Amino acid sequence: MAMLEVKDLAVNYGVINAVKGVSFDINEGEIVSLIGANGAGKTTILKTISGLLKPASGTITYEGHEIQKEKAPKIVAAGISQVPEGRHIFPGMSVKENLQMGAFLQSDRQAMAESFEAVYERFPILKQRLNQDAATLSGGEQQMLAMGRALMSKPKLLLLDEPSMGLAPIFINEIFEIVKAIKEQGTTVLLIEQNAKQALSIADRGYVLATGEVKMSGTGQELLANADVQKAYLGG
């Protein structure tokens, strides 16, 4: 059984049909990538999985339970955590306070301390900047903070919405390396990206999305080698 199964998902904004009957699944331990141009429906799918949007129809089954009617905090508690597009860190709050926000469901001090240690280990730079205002971090560091915040709840499934967006190339490489490392530590990842080449390079499987529909799917390597994918998304 897949860890997450999205079936015939449709999501509307008023009269706009943003997602039109999308199906895909994610197995435990995988990195699955959704790629597609701006406006394809990627963020809408992610927000629907995390409970911020409700679908018009279709089901989202996580660990055998339908979650498409659940509220966002319950979905976080069940082990799904998201890093939103554009990071949405809290400026005016320190790095440490931002991380604490990610652990809002944890009441156990010991578990909280363990979460902090795990995040410092993954992102040593955040430990150096703990008391700094999050707004003073570079773009790459803010992305690390957003990822660290999501990891504070010890998710089983991490949803990443365009983590490389707007970053300098050196940070982009680092972010993809970190995503790989997060997977190797046992967290399953849904990776949404416009940066198709790097996303597919680290993905076990991928789905190509256009105008709210899945157009193609395969292993990361199959999609990278596909002539249509190359033409549309890999610059030739």
Ligand X SMILES: Nc1ncnc2c1ncn2[C@@H]1O[C@H](COP(=O)(O)OP(=O)(O)O)[C@@H](O)[C@H]1O
Give Cα 39 distance to the centre of its chain. 17
- State the minimum distance, in angstroms, from the CB of residue 98 to ligand X: 24
Which residue, judged by CB position, is nearest to Mg ion in the bound state? 43
In the shown chain, the binding pattern of residues 69 to 108 toward Mg ion, with x for contact by CB under 5 A and - for none, equals ----------------x-----------------------
Tell which phi-psi region holds residue 82, choosing left (phi > 0), alpha (psi between -120 and 50) or beta.
beta
Q: Please count the residues of the chain.
A: 236
- In the complex with Mg ion, the residue whose CB is nearer, 95 or 159, is 159
Whole-angstrom distance, CA of residue 120 vs CA of residue 128: 9
- In the complex with ligand X, the residue whose CB is nearer, 2 or 37, is 37
What are the beta bridge partners of residue 68? none
Whole-angstrom distance, CA of residue 194 vs CA of residue 208: 10
Q: Which residues, 177 to 196, sit near Mg ion by CB under 5 A? A: none
- Chain residues that interact with ligand X, rule: CB under 6 A: 13, 16, 18, 36, 38-44
Name the residue type at position 48: T
In what helix (H) or strand (E) does residue 201 lie, and over which residues does it extend?
helix 196-202
- In the complex with ligand X, the residue whose CB is nearer, 103 or 167, is 167
In the shown chain, the binding pattern of residues 34 to 73 toward Mg ion, with x for contact by CB under 5 A and - for none, equals --------xx------------------------------
Catalog residues that contact Mg ion under the rule CB under 5 A. 42-43, 85
